């Protein structure tokens, strides 16, 4: 009987560790996305390109299992393409255009997979007709930077 309990405890511990590791990979991807957003908020094209290249690496190295893996697998190619476009864009306007696609796909991922223990805010700019994700409910618009830094509203909160 002790062997059965020990085996179950080891199995539960292993499963919990794998789930935690998977959560870390998705959280890392979300944090990388936030870094791209922050670079665009500050209108730093070079940093946005670097962060987008790091996002591509993180997405390509994310090996997941279970339901989160299925959701991620359906979105991975679109996420990678959009991030690659940001990393190779010639100017910040092109980066911001590609960020629309990246944000839409990240929103879909956030709705379908568990990315964070803290709320994720989907924010929306009516001028750009585009949304983005944030870890803070205060508006910092990545589509217009300092020109219209606070243009937008919280459209959804993912808990």
> Is this model's pTM higher than 0.95 or not?
no
Question: Domain coordinates of the chain in residue numbers?
Answer: 2-115
Phi, psi (degrees; rounded to nearest 5) at 156: -160, 150
Q: Are 32 and 55 in contact (CB under 8 A)?
A: yes
pLDDT tens figures, 24-42: 568 899 999 999 999 999 9
Q: Are 150 and 143 in contact (CB under 8 A)?
A: no
pLDDT tens figures, 105-132: 999 999 999 999 999 999 999 999 999 9
Which residues, listed in sequence order, are joined to residue 154 by a DSSP beta bridge? Answer: 123
């Amino acid at each position: 009987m002790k062997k059965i309990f020990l085996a179950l405890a080891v199995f539960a511990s292993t499963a919990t560790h794998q789930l935690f590791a998977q959560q870390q990979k998705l959280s890392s991807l979300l944090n990388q996305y936030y870094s791209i957003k922050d670079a665009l908020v500050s209108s730093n094209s070079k940093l946005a390109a670097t962060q987008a290249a790091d996002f591509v690496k993180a997405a390509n190295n994310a090996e997941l299992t279970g339901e989160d893996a299925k959701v991620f697998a359906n979105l991975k190619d679109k996420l990678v393409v959009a991030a690659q476009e940001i990393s190779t864009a010639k100017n910040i306007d092109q980066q911001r255009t590609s960020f629309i696609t990246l944000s839409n796909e990240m929103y879909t991922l956030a709705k379908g997979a568990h990315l964070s223990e803290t709320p994720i805010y989907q924010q929306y700019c009516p001028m750009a007709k585009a949304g983005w994700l944030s870890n803070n409910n205060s508006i910092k618009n990545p589509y217009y930077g300092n020109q219209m830094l606070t243009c937008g509203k919280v459209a959804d909160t993912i808990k």
